[in-house]
Structure 1
Amino acid sequence: MDKTSSFQAFEQAMQDLSLRLSSRTAMRESVIARLFQHVALRLNDYMDEPFKEHGLNTTLWTSLVVIYASRDHRLRPSELSVFMNSSRTNSTRVARDLERHGFVQRVVDPSDRRQLFLQLTEHGRAFVEAVLPSRRAYVRRALEEFDAAEIDEFERLLRKLLRKLG
């Protein structure tokens, strides 16, 4: 079953249910919720695809870019956790994976030896700078069916939904 037909089967089931319940609104709400799930899965797959050859995924890439964008290309693991909206346990796993790839190294904070920084290595900096232009083009291709006004509206609506969901 292809990606489109898997959603069509769900949509047909919801149409059948709405007829039995005489509620078009319930069907629409279910279809929209399921569309979000389908889009989220496809978007994750799409965004991860270019990184497979490097043994990375979007989470590792985004973490790497956040560290690259940080002052002196370094960040505390707890700060990475906040930026990535993830648990400290997950940030520890991410840091370990980035370190294993040679993109970051753990360095002691000179002002508080109990604290560590994730410091971008030269290899990590070079990787981000080499990949960033093609990554931006790749993301643009995902949005190329939308005009500028639609993209603005899409962003506004996604932010509104994010605020609502907390």
Structure 2
Amino acid sequence: MLQLKDLPNAEVLSKFAERYPDADIHKVLQFLTVLRIGSDLSLMLDNFLAGYGLLQGRWWVLILLMREADLTTTPSILASKAGVSRATMTGLLDGLEREGLVSRVADKHDRRRLAIQLTAAGQAKLDQVMPAYYQRVNALMDSLSSTEAEELIQSLKSLHSQQTVFE
């Protein structure tokens, strides 16, 4: 993903506003700041997970499997919960299976169907990653007071509810 490291200032944006009258400089700067911080947080998470031989997509699959009562679900359910295509999920699962972190298990009632199960090695990988992950999340979120954190969540939810403006 391309990440804009040099956010434009109001002077630069005023040039755009001259050409595009609908450009509200302050709202554009607010939006770009939110976008930049989200991208930076995602990149920081990827860098952290890379230290454990993971990227977010594979890590989320392990998390989703751990959430299941029997550590097992279908590839299509995983794809739906992760918000990716079945083809993308197949690629993620292939890599995780090669590393022994998940296994494909034939359905007990229909051998044509496969389920995906978190292996002991997959659980051990999560047990290795999660304590340091939670420490970092706690340290990051400690920079906000409880009130600020709640206001942030409400503001982000408000923005999220308007996501259709780009559709």
The answer to whether the superposition gives a TM-score over 0.5 is yes
Q: Distance in 1 between matches of 2:50 and 2:41?
A: 15
Q: What is residue 146 of structure 1 aligned with on the other side?
A: 144
Letter of the structure 2 residue corresponding to residue 127 of structure 1: K
Distance 1:31 1:104, change over 3 A: same
Instruction: Report the counterpart of residue 6 of structure 1 in structure 2.
Output: 6
Moved more, 69-78 or 35-44: 35-44
Q: Does the 8 Å CA contact 2:52/2:129 hold for their aligned counterparts?
A: no
Asked whether the equivalents of residues 16 and 23 of structure 2 are also in contact (C-alpha less than 8 Å), the reply is: no
Instruction: Report whether the alignment pairs 1:109 with 2:133.
Output: no
Task: Report SS of the residue matched to 2:100.
Answer: coil
When residues 165 and 5 of structure 1 are mapped into structure 2, their CA distance, relative to the original with a 3 A threshold, is closer
Residue 127 of structure 1 corresponds to 125
8 A Cα contact 2:4 2:36, kept in partner:
no
Paired with 1:63 and 1:106, the residues of 2 have a C-alpha distance of: 13
Alignment of 1:55-66 (within 5 A): 55-66=53-64
How much identity, in percent, do the aligned residues show? 23
With 32-41 and 115-124 compared, the bigger mean Cα shift is at: 32-41
> How big is each residue's C-alpha offset from its partner over 1:37-77, in whole Å with a ceiling of 9 and x where there is no partner?
21122111111111112321122112111111112111111
Counterpart CA distance in 2 for 1:24 and 1:114 is: 55
Alignment deviations for residues 65-106 of structure 1 (CA, whole Å, 9 cap, x no partner): 111111211111111111111111111111112112211011
Partner of 2:46: 48
Moved more, 47-56 or 66-75: 47-56
Structure 2: 5+ residue stretches without partners: none
Equivalent residue pairs, number = 162
Distance 2:5 2:52 in 1: 31
| Structure number with higher helix proportion | 1
Aligned-residue offset at 1:135? 0.8
Deviates more, 1:28-37 or 1:96-105: 28-37
TM-score norm. by structure 2 comes to 0.84
Q: Are 2:134 and 1:136 aligned?
A: yes
Distance 1:140 1:90 in 2: 31
The aligned counterpart of 1:67 is: 65
Q: Which runs of 5+ in 1 are unaligned?
A: none
